């Protein structure tokens, strides 16, 4: 495994649409491992492939010590609304409030190429939506209505 460099806002790679994964190769698995390691090293809740410069529909999310590996994720159901603070490893030092569904169901492939469905609410639902947005070149700052700079303590 290896840490990858996280690209920051202003880098055009964050604004591109990612390509579907057609075949899961050893490189795909390496990328999943590296995304998880890089996310943990940066104390993040999620990390998407474009954030390390790779335009593939791959992301990882970790909430409550549970790691979710998403390949070609699609949100197939949303319910309710939540409005809370969000941040992004590619937009360091800032946060803003974003509306997200309270509940989502996400279809994706796991690392074995099996179709899986994740049901998520609260923070996990928020993290899934945030990471899947990355795969379409969307950043949370596009949706937040009050971006602020974080204090040292936050
Ligand atoms: Zn992000």
Give the start-end residues of each E strand in the chain.
46-48, 58-63, 66-79, 82-86, 94-100, 103-109, 115-121, 148-149
* CA–centroid distance, residue 125 to ligand 1 (Å): 14
- Does the pTM exceed 0.85? yes
* CA–centroid distance, residue 72 to ligand 1 (Å): 17
pLDDT digits (tens, 9 = 90+) for 60-109: 999 999 999 999 999 999 999 999 999 999 999 999 999 999 999 999 99
* CA–centroid distance, residue 130 to ligand 1 (Å): 6
Residue 131: active-site member: yes
pLDDT at 14: 98
Q: Which pair of structure tokens corresponds to residue 83? A: 């409005």
* CA–centroid distance, residue 91 to ligand 1 (Å): 7
Q: CA of 32: how far to CAs of 35, 46, 95, 153, in Å?
A: 5, 12, 26, 30
Instruction: Report d(CA 152, CA 149) in Å as an integer.
Output: 10
pLDDT at 154: 65
- Does pLDDT of 152 surpass 80? no
Neighbours of 147 (CB within 10 A): 13
Of 62, 69, 86, 131, catalytic: 131
Per-residue pLDDT band for 1 (boundaries 50, 70, 90) equals: confident
Instruction: Report d(CA 147, CA 87) in Å as an integer.
Output: 9
The residue assigned the tokens 């529909």 is: 57
* CA–centroid distance, residue 20 to ligand 1 (Å): 19
Edge-to-edge strand ranges of the sheet holding 115-121: 46-48, 58-63, 66-79, 103-109, 115-121
Mean pLDDT of the chain: 96
């Amino acid at each position: 495994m290896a840490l990858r460099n996280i690209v920051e806002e202003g880098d055009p790679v964050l604004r591109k649409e990612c390509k579907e994964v057609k075949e899961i190769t050893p490189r795909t698995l390496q990328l999943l491992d590296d995304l998880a390691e890089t996310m943990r090293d940066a104390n993040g809740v999620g990390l998407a492939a474009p954030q390390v410069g790779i335009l593939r529909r791959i992301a990882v999310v970790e909430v409550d010590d549970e790691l979710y590996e998403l390949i070609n994720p699609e949100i197939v159901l949303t319910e309710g609304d939540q409005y809370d603070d969000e941040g992004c490893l590619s937009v360091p030092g800032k946060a803003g409030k974003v509306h997200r569904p309270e509940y989502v169901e996400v279809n994706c492939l796991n690392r074995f190429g099996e179709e899986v469905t994740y049901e998520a609410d609260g923070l996990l639902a928020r993290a899934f939506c945030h990471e899947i947005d990355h795969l379409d070149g969307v950043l949370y700052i596009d949706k937040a209505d009050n971006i602020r700079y974080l204090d040292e303590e936050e």
